[in-house]
Structure 1
Amino acid sequence: MSRVTAVQTIPTERPATKIVVVLRDDLAPWQVANVTAYLAAGVAADVPELVGEPYADADGNSYLPTLGLPVIVRAADAATLAGCRSRASARGLPTAIYTAAMFGTGNDRDNRAVVAAERADALDLVGLAVHGPRNAVDKVVKGTGAHP
């Protein structure tokens, strides 16, 4: 049994796009983890070419692929988060959202129903993810801070 010993070179070129998750700054730690995972999965589902190749360790065990771009996590108050959603929409950038009501559901159908019941400007957002050209995403998340 031969083992692969080559190490793949990591590109040093900066990617043309970026993924940013913005979370409301009052979430519990379990909510931070849950919402971030949910939103990152939304980006991966929308843009499958962002998903890299599967992993394998030196023993031959296989692991699922992950996003090929870093996911930057930011924090904001509710008003700033709503502004991010509005700017992303105005720029036509792909956006995943998570609302407070979604914490009370247990399935995707009910998640979509609670979102569909609210107008865009009335959504009680707890998080969003946006993907797009670096400069455009930076403008969308302007005013957010580093997540603690």
Structure 2
Amino acid sequence: MDTAKEKCVIIVDEDAPAGIAANTAAILGITLGVRMPDIVGEDNVDQEGNTHLGITRFPIPVLRTDAETLANIREKLYLPDYTDLTVVDFSEQAQKSRDYADYTEQLSASNGKDLNYLGVAVCGNKKIVNKLTGKLPLLR
């Protein structure tokens, strides 16, 4: 990933409780790491010989917005202008599922507009990501 031309952000529902927001960001980050393994750097060793597993090679800001804006952003990401982006979403339906099979079943029975998004991760062309998310504040 060329960090001069590409960018990743995570957007979470600003009204989600802190634990849910943190869990959402963690889940989105794990999926990004699997989908885009080149964003994770090599393992490192400290002076005492302890190994530290590789972390992301660049910052991934965690942004916040209201649920309606989050849903609108997710809906936009289905449009042809955004097909080159890597997009991961996480919904209340996923968060409340007992296991992955339950989530899969709930998702297949849901209309996409019925999903209540807790977060979305977006990676790709920096200009497009900034155009979509540039006005959103950081989660603090």
Q: TM-score range by the shorter chain?
A: 0.7 to 0.9
For 2:12, what is the secondary structure of its paired residue?
strand
- The equivalent of 1:133 in structure 2 is 125
Largest Rg, 1 or 2: 1
Shift of 1:78: 1.1
Q: How far apart, in 1, do the equivalents of 2:116 and 2:99 lie?
A: 18
TM-score (norm 1): 0.82
- The equivalent of 1:42 in structure 2 is 31
Determine which of 84, 95, 108 is the counterpart of 2:87: 95
Shift of 1:69: 2.0
Q: Tell whether the 8 Å contact from 1:96 to 1:130 is kept in structure 2 after alignment.
A: yes
Q: How far apart, in 1, do the equivalents of 2:56 and 2:108 lie?
A: 28
Q: How far apart, in 2, do the equivalents of 1:130 and 1:122 lie?
A: 21
Q: How far apart, in 2, do the equivalents of 1:53 and 1:105 lie?
A: 34
Name the amino acid aligned to 1:140. L
Shift of 1:14: 5.1
Shift of 1:29: 1.1
- Taking the TM superposition and a 5 Å limit, the aligned residue runs for 1:55-134 are 55-90=44-79, 91-92=82-83, 93-134=85-126
For 2:64, what is the secondary structure of its paired residue?
strand
Deviates more, 1:131-140 or 1:112-121: 112-121
Q: 1:114 to 1:141 in 2, by over 3 A?
A: farther
Runs of 4+ in 1 over 6 A off after TM superposition: none
Q: 1:69 to 1:107 in 2, by over 3 A?
A: farther
Q: Among the aligned pairs, what percent are the same residue?
A: 24
For 2:78, what is the secondary structure of its paired residue?
helix
RMSD across aligned positions (CA): 1.8
Q: How many residues align?
A: 136
Shift of 1:108: 2.8
Shift of 1:115: 2.6
Q: How far apart, in 2, do the equivalents of 1:20 and 1:86 lie?
A: 17
What runs of 5+ residues in structure 2 fail to find an aligned partner? none
Shift of 1:58: 1.1
